[in-house]
Structure 1
Amino acid sequence: MTECMPFLNTLKQVLSELDPQSPLQTGLQRLLDIIAANHGYERLSLAIFDPQTATLQFHLNYGDDAAADVRYAPGQGISGQVLASGSPSIIPRMADNPEFLNRAFGRPPDELAACAFICVPILLPSSAEEGKSQETIGVLSADLATAPKEKLEEHCRFLETLAGIIARQAAHLQDELARREQWQRLGLLHQDGDLLQVDTEEIIAFSKTMGMVLQQIYQVAPSRATVLLRGESGTGKELLAEAIHRASPRRDKPCIKLNCAALPADLLESELFGHEKGAFTGAVSAKKGRFEMAHEGTLFLDEIGELSAEAQAKLLRAIQEGEIQRLGSERPIKVDVRLVCATHRPLEMLLEDGSFREDLYYRINVFPVFIPSLRERRDDIIPLTEHFLSYFAREYQKSIKRVSSPAIDLLVQYHWPGNVRELRNCIERAVLLCNEDVIRTYHLPPSLQTAESSATDTDLSFGEAVARFEQELLVEALKKTKGNMLQAARNLRASYRIINYKVKKYGIDVKRISGKK
């Protein structure tokens, strides 16, 4: 039993380190570092199966970095064999096994002669149906000093247990890799692998619904087809229009934007098509319109449902003929423009009341993309929150590390009528108000704490509200000290007696918080 204690202690540490709010790759890398350091592994690697290429890709490592372009097909090398069979493999000495290919890390001969290799599958239950086998989504492998067979088998069982613990995280990592490949095809990644930014904001898409939207954009972007982005205000239509442009052959040409609702009708036509000198009072010089400025590029028309009847007729001619006329001019100007339109209004109802032209509707509705509201893509709320928190903490030079669990609950439960734009404003406000290293519920706007926004009863008395606030402070303080009530009392500038009394009063499970239960 004594020999098993190091393994058990590591398992307890791993379980305490698994934080669903921490960034996925950062958390998994931290686990690899802990495991390797505790047990003296020369190298510890997590490789994920990529369904798109049907290969195994080394993704996270402790020790030397793997060669980025090295992949194993199922059955190829020891790692590929474990992937294909779903069974672990123990190589007592790497140099003695001809099937050990040594491609990913290029180990020197003396290391091959001195080290063993253990590789275990990362398995997920594929179905509850009887007789269905588990799905292998990757492998976990370790380099360690050669040892007797019994000792290596102990390490193998330990690694199998770890693989089971991190299986769900590895599955999420597999999904994330698939999304990043999709973003790569869309032209949304820098060469260093970071997401491209548009006006300081990123496209954050972890939900399946937004994944489908990105897939549609990937399909339509290389073409000339007119795209109609439909969705509520604040859902990110402008960001997606930028993504379409960047993923198109016109990416090196201008992407010009115009909000049709931001200008009165008499100025809108001038903005779209330009004007000649003297065309109207105040036209002291000739001016290019947005169509001319977007020549050979992309023109994004937001809120297209707000166009006047006259502007609609001229826009239809520009789309059909590929030419425009400036106000005050008889001379047509040829333009080559890819059009992306957006609206939050129900255009079909505008057709019925005659305020939107039917022929124009069919011209712009070639490839409609429906963008879900934030309440329909709740999987994106936490990643978006983390992104906005990181951005505004840098912007306002605050050392805020995270959002508390109760505050996360409010954010996830809220119905977000203003969508991503409202969430962004909410986090900016919270960062400005927060003078701690954690954003708490009282930093969030009152609108998030109404009965409509929460699944819990928020019609609280003053005493009940104070009690809830006390509970949150206590739980956060105990989390920070890993259940040490004396240290928590010092941090809260209260006596141990008061903290002990409050813990008992609210029934707070200190053992669970400390990870000792």
Structure 2
Amino acid sequence: MPDHQYLLTLKHILDGLGRKGGLEDNLNGLLATMARELGYVRCFLAITDTEDEDLKLSLSYSPSKADSVSYAPGRGVVGQVFENGETVVVQRISDNPNFLNLAFGRTEEEMARLSFICTPIVSHSRGKPEVVGVLSADLVMLPKDELEGHRSFLEAVASAIAHQVAILQEELAVQKHLLNQGMAGLPEAQPPKNFVASSKAMRLVLRQARQVSPSRATVLLRGESGTGKELLAEAIHAGSPRAERPLIKLNCAALPAELVESELFGHQKGAFTGAYQNKRGLFEVAHQGTLFLDEIGELSLDAQAKVLRAIQEKEITRVGGEMPIAVDVRLICATHQPLEDRIAQGKFREDLYYRINVFPVFIPSLRERREDILPLAEFFLEEFSSEYDKHIRRISTPAIELLSMYHWPGNVRELQNCVERAVLVCEEEVIRTYHLPPTLQTAESSSTEISLSFGEAVGKFEQELLVDALKKSRGNMLQAARDLRVSYRIVNYKVKKYGIDVKRFVNSKSRKR
């Protein structure tokens, strides 16, 4: 097999993993691509079960149907790879007594003419190497030296997909948990389209949302302002049996204390000055749906007592009214304050705290999940470029570095505002450092020290501009000079100064949206 075929197949695989769509679908596509382009008879992916620590056959591409099987550590070829973390190459399957032939019911004739390669999928997401699955292929029997090429290819693919397999492993564990809890078949909490969660911390948050969504348990979302508590509340409601009923929201800090009770519980005509007619409160409006109380720590003690009664008795009384009104409401609360401190200060009722703290979910700040910064920035870039009819393709590397170093006191909301501003002021196809707010460009605000001298920073910026121009002109330095509005001599000098290989841009295409 020529080397370029392996590289071409690997490129197709990586392109497929980058497509939008479900993770499982993308991995299934990977197996099909390998089989089609390299002539594999079958490929399969077995993933570690986090509870019983066996391997479960999860995905396969095969002419024969795969049976649902488990592989115990050390048993058979697959179990050996799982236990030892080392690739095994079997030149002829029928010659290997350890081959158990569990999943696909291969005939004796097949096993006599097939080779088999199995390689571990090792994840480093928890700080140490961990086998999260194995990737295997059946192929028409080949000489040992040719099998080594396939071995190296499969090891490269296993390394490339380790992160995706670790995510799928977590998703399968959640599904198993829901099944054990009798929650299978209910709608899952799907994150809203603008809820980006790439980091492990946020995947855990979404997993908790999926666990609690099908129930009617009260949820307390905790985290700094701007972390996405309201979006998560929407996700929990959308994944609940009440999804077709209303989700009503109230920011308890946005109204004066004297108006909050009327807003929550309604009032009767004449209850106070200005009460010219009866008004339903939000508990009534949210009947059989979900009520989201943001910043619940800001409620007055009187309002807290009435919310507690509504939770306990499932009924409310309007301000100025006498008749209790039955309400069926699922409550989701949120706060950025340490409620335990407010209890100690006498500003929050302890009995209400225990009522709303049934299922707490802590949303980490953006500086604690920096893996989410770039995906969020790219999402907002696409969103605002479309909204303002701009043709901005990407964020430059120096700008990405600034975004990544900044400590984001306003969290995701601040990042969203930052990208929106950058899109508004940008007149190019790339967001650069000077399009970002000044607060991101000072070492003091980002709690970091400047690692580059002024001359180095200027040089880095020059290289970036020059590479972009050469990409656009496909390596034509004269055209690049025209685009940059400088002389050819200067471009030629800078290319040599920075050691830029112009030839690699000759066949490149400038992507435009």
TM value normalised by structure 1: 0.74
Output the CA distance in 2 between the equivalents of 1:35 and 1:484: 37
Alignment partner, residue 56 of structure 2: 55
3-state SS in 2 of match to 1:201: coil
Output the CA distance in 2 between the equivalents of 1:134 and 1:346: 36
**Is the CA contact (8 Å cut-off) linking 2:281 and 2:318 kept in structure 1?**
yes
Q: For structure 1, which segment, 172-181 or 482-491, has the greater mean C-alpha deviation from structure 2 after superposition?
A: 482-491
Instruction: Answer yes or no: is 1:41 the counterpart of 2:39.
Output: yes
**Cα deviation, residue 333, structure 1:** 1.3
Q: Would the alpha carbon gap of residues 167 and 256 (structure 1) be closer, same or farther in structure 2, given more than 3 Å must change?
A: same
Alignment counterpart, residue 457 of structure 1, candidates 447, 450, 461: 450
Q: List per-residue Cα deviations over 1:173-230 (Å, max 9, x = no partner).
A: 112223544777889xxx9x998454x522x333232233334444444444432221
Output the CA distance in 2 between the equivalents of 1:479 and 1:66: 47
Alignment partner, residue 302 of structure 2: 310
The share of aligned pairs that are identical, in percent, is: 51
**Is the CA contact (8 Å cut-off) linking 1:56 and 1:138 kept in structure 2?**
no
Output the CA distance in 2 between the equivalents of 1:482 and 1:27: 32
**Cα deviation, residue 100, structure 1:** 7.3
Instruction: Give 1:135's aligned amino acid.
Output: V
**Is the CA contact (8 Å cut-off) linking 2:119 and 2:158 kept in structure 1?**
no
Instruction: Answer yes or no: is 1:173 the counterpart of 2:164.
Output: yes
Alignment counterpart, residue 70 of structure 2, candidates 54, 68, 73: 73
Output the CA distance in 2 between the equivalents of 1:133 and 1:443: 40
Alignment partner, residue 402 of structure 2: 410
Output the CA distance in 2 between the equivalents of 1:486 and 1:280: 78
Output the CA distance in 1 between the equivalents of 2:415 and 2:320: 45
**Cα deviation, residue 273, structure 1:** 0.2
Output the CA distance in 1 between the equivalents of 2:30 and 2:488: 34
Alignment partner, residue 194 of structure 2: 201
Q: For the aligned residues, what is the CA RMSD?
A: 4.9
3-state SS in 2 of match to 1:342: strand
Q: Would the alpha carbon gap of residues 83 and 468 (structure 1) be closer, same or farther in structure 2, given more than 3 Å must change?
A: closer
**Is the CA contact (8 Å cut-off) linking 1:78 and 1:100 kept in structure 2?**
no
Alignment partner, residue 121 of structure 1: 119
Alignment partner, residue 276 of structure 2: 284
Q: Would the alpha carbon gap of residues 245 and 15 (structure 1) be closer, same or farther in structure 2, given more than 3 Å must change?
A: closer
Q: List per-residue Cα deviations over 1:418-448 (Å, max 9, x = no partner).
A: 1111122222333344454443333322222
Give the paired residue count. 481
Q: Would the alpha carbon gap of residues 265 and 164 (structure 1) be closer, same or farther in structure 2, given more than 3 Å must change?
A: same
Output the CA distance in 1 between the equivalents of 2:349 and 2:156: 58
Output the CA distance in 1 between the equivalents of 2:71 and 2:477: 51
Q: Would the alpha carbon gap of residues 182 and 79 (structure 1) be closer, same or farther in structure 2, given more than 3 Å must change?
A: closer
Instruction: Give 1:457's aligned amino acid.
Output: I
**Is the CA contact (8 Å cut-off) linking 1:48 and 1:170 kept in structure 2?**
no
Instruction: Give 1:57's aligned amino acid.
Output: S
Output the CA distance in 1 between the equivalents of 2:80 and 2:464: 49
Alignment partner, residue 364 of structure 1: 356
Alignment partner, residue 301 of structure 1: 293
Alignment counterpart, residue 390 of structure 1, candidates 362, 382, 389: 382
Alignment counterpart, residue 252 of structure 2, candidates 248, 252, 260: 260
**Is the CA contact (8 Å cut-off) linking 2:222 and 2:360 kept in structure 1?**
yes
Q: Would the alpha carbon gap of residues 166 and 249 (structure 1) be closer, same or farther in structure 2, given more than 3 Å must change?
A: same
3-state SS in 1 of match to 2:267: coil
Output the CA distance in 2 between the equivalents of 1:196 and 1:266: 37
Q: Would the alpha carbon gap of residues 437 and 512 (structure 1) be closer, same or farther in structure 2, given more than 3 Å must change?
A: same
Q: For structure 1, which segment, 278-287 or 369-378, has the greater mean C-alpha deviation from structure 2 after superposition?
A: 278-287
3-state SS in 1 of match to 2:408: coil
Alignment partner, residue 158 of structure 1: 149
Q: List per-residue Cα deviations over 1:294-333 (Å, max 9, x = no partner).
A: 2233221101121123222222222233221111211111
**Cα deviation, residue 264, structure 1:** 1.8
Instruction: Give 1:229's aligned amino acid.
Output: L
Alignment partner, residue 471 of structure 1: 463
Instruction: Answer yes or no: is 1:245 the counterpart of 2:237.
Output: yes
3-state SS in 2 of match to 1:235: coil
**Cα deviation, residue 417, structure 1:** 0.8
Instruction: Answer yes or no: is 1:234 the counterpart of 2:231.
Output: no
**Cα deviation, residue 66, structure 1:** 10
Q: For structure 1, which segment, 214-223 or 257-266, has the greater mean C-alpha deviation from structure 2 after superposition?
A: 214-223
Q: Would the alpha carbon gap of residues 375 and 300 (structure 1) be closer, same or farther in structure 2, given more than 3 Å must change?
A: same
**Cα deviation, residue 343, structure 1:** 0.9
Alignment partner, residue 141 of structure 1: 137
Q: Would the alpha carbon gap of residues 227 and 17 (structure 1) be closer, same or farther in structure 2, given more than 3 Å must change?
A: closer
Instruction: Give 1:120's aligned amino acid.
Output: C
Output the CA distance in 2 between the equivalents of 1:285 and 1:65: 72
**Cα deviation, residue 387, structure 1:** 2.9
**Is the CA contact (8 Å cut-off) linking 1:57 and 1:70 kept in structure 2?**
no
Unaligned runs of 5+ in 2: 180-184, 506-513
**Is the CA contact (8 Å cut-off) linking 1:118 and 1:142 kept in structure 2?**
yes
Q: Would the alpha carbon gap of residues 438 and 359 (structure 1) be closer, same or farther in structure 2, given more than 3 Å must change?
A: same
3-state SS in 2 of match to 1:360: helix
3-state SS in 2 of match to 1:315: helix
Instruction: Give 2:133's aligned amino acid.
Output: I
Q: List per-residue Cα deviations over 1:429-472 (Å, max 9, x = no partner).
A: 333444544433333222222213274528976x7765442122
Instruction: Give 1:428's aligned amino acid.
Output: E
Instruction: Give 1:260's aligned amino acid.
Output: C
Q: List per-residue Cα deviations over 1:108-151 (Å, max 9, x = no partner).
A: x9xx99x9665432443889xxxx998372215376xx57x33x
Instruction: Give 1:56's aligned amino acid.
Output: L
Unaligned runs of 5+ in 1: none
Alignment partner, residue 508 of structure 2: none
Output the CA distance in 1 between the equivalents of 2:488 and 2:118: 47
Q: Would the alpha carbon gap of residues 354 and 275 (structure 1) be closer, same or farther in structure 2, given more than 3 Å must change?
A: same
Alignment partner, residue 435 of structure 2: 443
Q: Would the alpha carbon gap of residues 183 and 386 (structure 1) be closer, same or farther in structure 2, given more than 3 Å must change?
A: farther
Output the CA distance in 2 between the equivalents of 1:260 and 1:121: 55
Instruction: Give 2:219's aligned amino acid.
Output: V
Output the CA distance in 2 between the equivalents of 1:422 and 1:404: 19
TM value normalised by structure 2: 0.74
**Is the CA contact (8 Å cut-off) linking 1:10 and 1:35 kept in structure 2?**
no
Q: Would the alpha carbon gap of residues 453 and 65 (structure 1) be closer, same or farther in structure 2, given more than 3 Å must change?
A: farther
